[in-house]
Amino acid sequence: MNILIINCGSSSIKYQLFSMERKASLLNGIVEKIGSEEASVTHRKGEKKHKQTIGVPDYFSAVEIIAGLLTHPEWGAVEEKSAIHAIGHRVVHGGEEFKSSVVIDKHVMERIKYYGKLAPLHNPPAYNGIRGTMQIFPHTVQVAVFDTAFHQTMPEEAYLYGLPYKLYKQYCIRRYGFHGTSHRYVAEAAAKMLKRPLVKLKLITCHLGNGCSITAVKNGKSVDTSMGFTPLEGLLMGTRCGDIDPALVGYIMEKEKMTINQVNDLMNRKSGLLGLSGISNDMRDLLECAKKGNHRAKLAIDVFIYRVKKYIGAYIAVMNGADTVILTAGIGENVAIMKQRLSKEMSNVLGRRIKILTIHTDEERLIAFDTYELVKNKK
Ligand code: ADP
């Protein structure tokens, strides 16, 4: 069975084709800057890469281009569109309704649109991407895999904020958490590596990429996570501030004469590693500058690691212990000092028992497996 994975961002679509029999990725690529004159497609098949600047007015055209590449004599992997047996979509927000992946029907589409109010930057492009995909692959089963689904097991005490309860009831204001697919993938992978059942493990999964979040996974279930109502809460990130005193929003608005949108922009795009260092949101640049003695680069890295330690400590408390801490995503997998500093600076807390593992995350693969599970009996 061939499964196509579609991951729609605010102006891009990433895609990847899997053969489930061969347990292999056949090709992948990205269409970027959708809606602009400089839109481009970068397509990879094995070692070969093909990049082209091309007009892509909307998501429908982007999916059309992808479909053309999948069946292309040189760049494709199948002869006809009908050889794509199912399509799995990454959807960021599934509210409280979606606790696992689902086959997309009219109702699911309506709800993805509805939850756009909770994820205005993420759900609308996913909705448009799915619509485009449905038009171009009208006979193919499509599945939605939600970032929020894995965290739906959190208890009330973890997901409720200390705000009037009626705001939760009226506006669905609560912690949802994100990166769920990645946390679930590395938790399952860790159990396999440790050769122990996931249902008997207490894991702390740290997804440290451009966006960063940490999850406490107890007996295979997310019991708390650092991102909240939006992906802004928690750790320091590339350009996001993570936890701050909520009173600062009003204070900054007053001092800087900013609107709420401007403060939102400041917290989401101009803060984090970029804001503190004044250099870059990219950890590689900061490591380089810190090595040369740049104080602000070093400071940004220190704040980043300090926050990670704080959350790991909190989640050891939440679960009354832990078996393993897992580092994943761009920074988690590649920055050696992360593991070294956590091991050294938390040696008393971790003791000999709690090991730190680095595991490569593969959200697309998990989306493919979920899709396969949902469609295999329908064929
Ligand atoms: P995204 O959340 O966009 O998927 P990634 O998981 O690719 O992000 O992570 C991006 C971050 O990982 C950036 O800060 C980047 O600097 C860092 N990173 C990626 N590769 C390396 C590397 N080899 N060494 C150090 N940092 C890296």
Mutating to test ligand 1, I would choose from 12, 235, 239, 335 the residue with most ligand atoms within 8 A of its C-beta, which is: 335
Dist. CA 248 → ligand 1 center (Å): 29
Pairing relation of β-strands 86-91 and 221-225?
A: unpaired
Distance CA 216, CA 56 (A): 41
Closest ligand 1 atom to residue 273 Cα is 14
User: Which pLDDT score, from 0 to 100, does residue 377 have?
Assistant: 77
| Full-model pTM | 0.93
331 touches ligand 1 (CB under 6 Å)? yes
Distance CA 142, CA 144 (A): 7
User: Which pLDDT score, from 0 to 100, does residue 320 have?
Assistant: 97
Domain with CATH 3.30.420.40 in the chain: 2-146, 195-358
Answer yes or no: 224 catalytic. Answer: no
Cα torsion through 245, 224, 301, 239, rounded to 10:
-60
Superfamily of domain 2-146: ATPase, nucleotide binding domain (3.30.420.40)
220 touches ligand 1 (CB under 6 Å)? no
Mutating to test ligand 1, I would choose from 181, 186, 284 the residue with most ligand atoms within 8 A of its C-beta, which is: 284
User: Which pLDDT score, from 0 to 100, does residue 379 have?
Assistant: 59
Dist. CA 334 → ligand 1 center (Å): 8
Which amino acid is present at 297? Answer: A
Distance CA 306, CA 313 (A): 11
For residue 127, which of 150, 155, 104, 147 has the smallest C-alpha distance? 104
User: Which pLDDT score, from 0 to 100, does residue 237 have?
Assistant: 96
User: Which pLDDT score, from 0 to 100, does residue 77 have?
Assistant: 94
Class of domain 195-358: alpha beta
The pLDDT profile of the chain, 379 residues, written as one tens digit per residue, is 999 999 998 889 999 999 999 989 999 999 999 988 889 999 999 999 999 999 899 999 999 999 999 999 999 999 999 999 999 999 999 999 999 999 999 999 999 999 998 888 889 999 999 999 999 999 999 999 999 999 999 999 999 999 999 999 999 999 999 999 999 999 999 999 999 999 999 999 999 998 999 999 999 999 999 999 999 999 999 999 999 999 999 999 999 999 999 999 999 999 999 999 999 999 999 999 999 999 999 999 999 999 999 999 999 999 999 999 999 999 999 999 999 999 999 999 999 999 999 999 999 999 999 999 999 877 5
User: Which pLDDT score, from 0 to 100, does residue 378 have?
Assistant: 73
Closest ligand 1 atom to residue 335 Cα is 25
Q: Which of 105, 147, 224, 302 is catalytic?
A: 147
